[in-house]
Structure 1
Amino acid sequence: MRKFSTDFFRVAGFFTIVAALTLTIFAQDFSGEQKINSTDGSVAGAVQNDDTFDKKNGFSVWGGFAPDIPRVFGGSRRSTFGEIGLRYSRRIATTENLAIKYQIDLIPVAVINYRRQRLLQLSPTTFIFDRDRTTAYAAGLTPVSFQLNFRRRNKIQPFITAEAGLLVFNKSIPDDRSPLLPNQRGRQFNFTLAGGGGVEFLTESARSYTVGFKFHHISNASTGNINPGFDQNLFYFGYTFKKF
């Protein structure tokens, strides 16, 4: 229960900070916008076709891969991770320079390969940790995702993002069971938390390409017998093929 509370407050704190920063940036930009309403100058790199950046909805496909991970949260497990996502996004608020999007991702496939460690007894007085690697597959959903785009009337738009979701694996992760510790495993159902940023490149045909990075965390929130968590440095590429 203590670990669950820690995870809950970590998630709540993360989104509180993101929300506060977003509102601060938005308020400053809106204030500045009131002072510059009469200016007509064009910005280098601006998209000339208003229809390109005024469409509110979009469908995208994206994929990400994390080749290595640092131990950011305590005893988190090292792993390799990859996923593919299908996204619907809707712009929910704008100023002259900023845009906030709500996004929902369907994750049809995700793969994690991690090192497990099982305690084995070789003799009455000899114990060892047997370490090997195993792979698990998952599908999931990210229903809470927000993206803040800067320079929203330009072809090149930096952005920051924050999201929370879930993944259901084909087996419990991690799984460190052994004859000595038969219950040493996590859960198939896991929560995800991510935050990061990147750049969105718009085209004249109302499509866009996205390159980004996000820190990605997987946890069962202590609903399993063990919950070391998995941290990933996820690099991803996306293509928005439909805007309307």
Structure 2
Amino acid sequence: MYYTADLIPYIYFDYPKRDENDKPTQISGVGFSPIGFLLEKKLNNYFTYQLSISGSFIFMKDEFPTDKGRKLNYTFDPSFTLQTHITKSIKLASGYKFHHISNAQTGSENPGLDSNFLYISLIIK
């Protein structure tokens, strides 16, 4: 198991703002993830998997995702990745990530957004 920490130099959301009749809204911010864990296990000679989880602090330009939200938000994002070697220096990875962002009950309301990601990555060493 590995400990992870990340900087988030840019985060961007394009979403329908609930308190403005679902008006299309864009907002960005920055953040950092001081705590995360990554577990990597070899399944066989061809495949390995990774389970990871992290928590982050996100600072948005305005209240997010509604006017009763906050500029400071928190994220929680567990993920699962399956990897295989294509060559000695190239891996193919695919996986699933759940991403939650909210103010963690620190505002007058706790509006949050949940996202689900399916991804494919090419890793070159």
The answer to whether the superposition gives a TM-score over 0.5 is: yes
Are the equivalent residues in 1 in contact too, given 2:66–2:111 (CA < 8 A)?
Answer: no
| CA distance in 2 between partners of 1:105 and 1:209 (Å) | 22
Are the equivalent residues in 1 in contact too, given 2:56–2:74 (CA < 8 A)?
Answer: yes
**TM-score (norm: length of structure 2):** 0.80
Q: Partner amino acid for 2:50? A: F
* 1:217 aligned residue (78, 93, 100): 100
| CA distance in 2 between partners of 1:101 and 1:154 (Å) | 22
Alignment of 1:48-67 (within 5 A): none
Alignment of 1:63-142 (within 5 A): 100-118=1-19, 130-142=21-33
Are the equivalent residues in 1 in contact too, given 2:93–2:122 (CA < 8 A)?
Answer: yes
Residue aligning to 1:204:
88
- Post-superposition offset of 1:174: 1.9
| CA distance in 1 between partners of 2:4 and 2:93 (Å) | 14
| CA distance in 1 between partners of 2:124 and 2:33 (Å) | 20
Residue aligning to 2:112:
229
- Post-superposition offset of 1:201: 3.1
Are the equivalent residues in 1 in contact too, given 2:37–2:52 (CA < 8 A)?
Answer: yes
Larger Rg: 1
Q: What CA deviation, in whole Å up to 9, does each residue of 1:38-92 have, x standing for no partner?
A: xxxxxxxxxxxxxxxxxxxxxxxxxxxxxxxxxxxxxxxxxxxxxxxxxxxxxxx
Residue aligning to 1:11:
none
Residue aligning to 1:6:
none
Structure with the greater relative contact order (CA < 8 A, sep ≥ 6): 1 or 2? 1
- Post-superposition offset of 1:193: 0.5
Are the equivalent residues in 1 in contact too, given 2:49–2:80 (CA < 8 A)?
Answer: yes
Count of aligned positions: 124
- Post-superposition offset of 1:197: 0.4
| CA distance in 2 between partners of 1:166 and 1:238 (Å) | 25
- Post-superposition offset of 1:214: 1.2
Extract unaligned runs of 5+ from structure 2.
none
Q: Give 1 or 2: higher helix fraction.
A: 1
Extract unaligned runs of 5+ from structure 1.
1-99, 119-128, 177-184
**TM-score (norm: length of structure 1):** 0.44
Stretches of 4+ moved more than 6 A in 1?
none
Q: Tell me, what secondary structure is at the counterpart of 1:231?
A: strand
- Post-superposition offset of 1:139: 1.7
Q: Partner amino acid for 2:95? A: G
* 1:146 aligned residue (28, 37, 49): 37
Residue aligning to 2:76:
193
1:161 aligns with 2:52: yes
Q: Give 1 or 2: higher strand fraction.
A: 2
Residue aligning to 1:59:
none
